[in-house]
Amino acid sequence: MTTLYHAPLTCSLAARFAAAEGGVNLDIVPLNLGTKELATGGSLYDINPLGQVSVLEFKDGTKLTETSTVINWIQSQSINDDFRIDPSDPGYFQMLRWLAFCATELHKGLFRVVFYQEATEEVKNRVRALAPLRFEVLENHLNGRDYLLGNRFSAADAYLTWFFVLSGYAQIDHSKYPNLEAYRQRVLSRPAIRALIESDTQLDQELRQNLFAG
């Protein structure tokens, strides 16, 4: 079985969202991203020299990194026709578009700085001030849509859903955007998503990862 190296509540949770919604089985190896220690022993640096998640490891030992790529691989393995989008589908490149948006504009564009411990509050607040323009893009796009690609929850939604898991910790306010808020409530209420957030919150406490407190 394919292995996902997973630090609770981090971006690898987005990969787990995609796997759960797509019915794709993964072997989960938990780790503490703060210490880089794997629950099975050893270091995340042995798996990925950058010491980052998401990382998939296949049976032959080859690895796949970068959350957007990992999520796309997961969705490609789904037998759920309502979730999987093949490259021949016109919606495929729209899915890639939103995966890239989540990766660059939200994940690295906002969270990477806001959760960087050495960053000053002034720098963090300057980065938070970038959020409204990005939210306006999402707000306008979601007008008349339940999900990013219309009425189907896709792999791109798995990534955007994860953003809302941590946006409160990041002190990023999106409450003024009604379409986005309705979307947030919709995705976070999905049973598989809700169950994974609850289990990850517990795992985070058990591992004493403490990445997002304070």
pLDDT in tens, 197-212: 999 999 999 999 888 7
Q: Is the bond leading into 167 cis (omega within 30 degrees of zero)?
A: no
Task: Report d(CA 32, CA 206) in Å as an integer.
Answer: 10
Architecture of domain 3-81+193-207: 3-Layer(aba) Sandwich (3.40)
In the chain, which ranges are continuous DSSP H helix? 12-22, 67-76, 92-101, 112-114, 121-128, 131-141, 155-166, 178-188, 191-207
Task: Report d(CA 89, CA 170) in Å as an integer.
Answer: 35
Q: Please state the domain extents for the chain.
A: 3-81+193-207, 92-190
**Residue 214: pLDDT above 70?**
no
Fold agreement between 3-81+193-207 and 92-190: no
pTM for the model: 0.96
Domain 92-190 has CATH 1.20.1050.10: yes
What percentage of the chain carries pLDDT values higher than 70? 99
